[in-house]
Amino acid sequence: MNAGIIGTGHYVPEKVLTNLDMEKIVDTNDEWIRTRTGIEERRIAEDDMDTSDMAYLAAVEALKDANISAEELDMILVATVTPDTPFPSVSCMLQDKLGATRAAAMDLSAACSGFVYGVITAKQFIETNTYKNILVVGVEKLSKITDWTDRNTCVLFGDGAGAAVIGPVSEGKGILSFELGADGSGGKHLLQNEDYISMNGREVFKFAVRQMPESSVNVVEKAGFNKEDVDYLIPHQANIRIMEAAREKLGISQDKMACSVKRYGNTSAASIPIALSEEVKNGKIKTDDLVVLVGFGGGLTWGAIALRWGI
């Protein structure tokens, strides 16, 4: 039984924080942010909206797109590093909000790679015929762990949620190959230090510009294809220069790469599913397209998927 994505959804908060707004908060400027990151603005959740609230809104959209009810879910996996509380998990909160009474629920912590980790976890349950419908959500309220006095990090992050329903698909469709990895020795370069995100930007950049392109090519080759066969790339939306490195390694044109980083910034685990949901809904990703999802994150972690779109 092949596992694939049968529905997508996303949610971003209404509040927009532009680079010009950032100039009023810390010693930075619009040109510096844009040239180094590609970010022009980001979305920030209101104080009364938490991680589980955003996850719910994205999940409802994904379930509708998949044409299934919450009662038909067998499992809910939520990838996040910013849960409402240490416990209960966001996935359990989401199960209750959705009324998905049959679903098992657990959270995953792999930072920005979390959604890819979640999709591959779901794949195992489906392809072993254990479960049929699994909801995977990547969601973050990074604004609550952002140090708004640190100009090196506060300009990068935003809030949001993306969701996908993983289920059985026809032969030749769905997840064709994947790669998951970690390097715990690099954890010190990107971490939550006490209350806030702390990052050694130089070391993370060096890691990412090597790993994202390498993993992208690896999953394409594992699936038995050539780089020229890739129709669309959905990279983690962290930094335009890192994203461009992956795109150039695959040799695909700019119009075949999702680029929402300029509008939303880095939304960590929500980044890939938000971009995926947007590109599906605007018609950029079509049935039978060979799509690559690739990300990296704190841990350090990385993950990539090659899939044939369609059910």
pLDDT digits (tens, 9 = 90+) for 85-112: 999 999 999 999 999 999 999 999 999 9
* Catalytic, out of 92, 112, 154, 259: 112
Collect all residues with Cβ–Cβ distance below 8 Å to 197 and sequence separation of at least 6. 142, 145, 146, 147, 153, 157, 190, 191
Are 151 and 241 members of one domain?
Answer: no
Q: Which of 2, 133, 239, 266 is catalytic?
A: 266
16 and 53 part of one domain: yes
Q: Which listed residue (133, 236, 239, 259) is catalytic?
A: 236
Tokens of 261: 């980083």
Three-state DSSP at 244 gives helix
Share of the chain above pLDDT 90, in %: 99
Question: How confident is the prediction for the chain on average, in pLDDT?
Answer: 97
Residue 10 known to be catalytic? no
Output the pLDDT for position 194.
84
30, pLDDT greater than 90: yes
Q: Are residues 142 and 85 part of one domain?
A: yes
Q: What is the pLDDT of residues 121-158, one digit of tens each?
A: 999 999 999 999 999 999 999 999 999 999 999 999 99
Give me the domain span that covers residue 80: 2-169
Number of domains present in the structure of the chain: 2
Residues 159, 178 share a domain: no
Q: Determine whether 19 is an active site residue.
A: no
Report helix, strand or coil for 309. coil
142 and 92 fall within a common domain: yes
Asked if 266 is an active-site residue, the reply is yes
State whether 144 and 265 are in the same domain: no
Mean pLDDT of 156-161: 98
Rounded to two decimals, the pTM is 0.97
The pLDDT score that the predictor gives to residue 1 is 86
Whether residue 253 sits in one domain with residue 136: no
Compute the average pLDDT of residues 225-253: 97
Residues 142 and 26 in one domain: yes
